[in-house]
Amino acid sequence: MKRLIVLLSLTSTLLLSGCAGGGTSSPNENAFVSGDGVAIYVQPADRKPAPSLNGETLSGQKFVAERKVTVVNVWASWCSPCRAEAPLLEDFATKERDIQFVGILTRDNFTSAQSFVNRFKITYPTLTDDSLLAAFRGSLVPNAIPTTIIIDKENRVAARISGQVTYALLDNMIKKVVQNA
C-alpha cells in the first residue's frame, strides 16, 4: 500500500508539473519555457559583450544596431505573455527616444508575426534571425519566451527579465543600466 501511495504521488507530481507555468506548447507542438518574471542585473565590471544585432527585419528592411542602450525583446505571436507585454513595450519605445528597442522573433511564422506587429502597432524593428539568441551564450542568454535583455551603451549585456515585463520592473532596469553604464 505504501508503494502505491508513493507511485500515485510521483505520478501526480509529474502530471501536474507538465501543466505548470514552466512550459507549454507552441502551435507546432515544440515545447518552450515560460519565464517567471525574474530579473537579473549585472554590475558594469562583470558585463559580457553583447552579440551584434544586425540583420533583416520582419518588414524586410536591414537593421544595424546603434551604439546606445538597447532593449531587446524575444517574442512569438502565439505567446500569451508576449501579447500581454506588447503594448507596454511599445509605450516605452515611443516615450524613451534615447533608448533603442528591437525585437527578435523566435519559433514563429512571418504571417502570424506580422499580424501581431499590426495588432499591437509595434513601431520598433523585429529581427527574424532567431539564431541571434545563441550568440548571447556566455552572458545572460534568453532562457524563456518572452525574455527582455538590456544592453548598455558600451554594447555589453547589462540585464535580463525572464518572462513578461511589468512597467515598474522595466523602468527600474532601464534606469539602472542608464545610470550605471
65-110 tens-digit pLDDT = 999 999 999 999 999 999 999 999 999 999 999 999 999 999 999 9
Q: Report the chain's C-alpha Rg in angstroms.
A: 18
Q: Which residues pair with 138 in a beta bridge?
A: none
State the pLDDT at residue 63: 97
Report the candidate in 10, 15, 105, 7 with the shortest Cα–Cα distance to residue 59.
105
How many angstroms separate the CA atoms of 141 and 132, rounded? 10
Report the candidate in 126, 131, 130 with the shortest Cα–Cα distance to residue 113.
126
Q: Does residue 146 lie in a domain region?
A: yes
Peptide bond into 87 cis (omega under 30): no
Q: Does residue 92 lie in a domain region?
A: yes
State the pLDDT at residue 5: 37
The tally of domains found in the chain comes to 1
* Residue burial 59-94, b: 16+ Cβ < 10 Å; e: rest: eeeebebeeebbbbbbbbbbbebbbebbebbbebbe
- Averages of pLDDT over each 10 residues, the chain, 181 residues: 38 29 35 67 96 96 96 97 97 96 97 98 96 92 94 97 96 96 69
| Cell matching residue 55 | 540583420
State the pLDDT at residue 21: 33
Does the predicted model carry a pTM greater than 0.85? no
* 119 Cβ contact list (under 8 Å, min separation 6): none
Q: Domain containing 144: what range?
A: 22-179
Q: Does residue 163 lie in a domain region?
A: yes
Alpha helices in 24-104 (DSSP H): 80-95
Report the candidate in 67, 47, 66 with the shortest Cα–Cα distance to residue 160.
47
User: For position 52, which CATH number holds?
Assistant: 3.40.30.10
Q: Which residues pair with 24 in a beta bridge?
A: 32
Q: Report the C-alpha dihedral over residues 85, 80, 112, 58, rounded to 10 degrees.
A: 30
Q: Does residue 155 lie in a domain region?
A: yes
Q: Does residue 36 lie in a domain region?
A: yes
State the pLDDT at residue 37: 73
Q: Does residue 5 lie in a domain region?
A: no
State the pLDDT at residue 20: 29
State the pLDDT at residue 25: 34
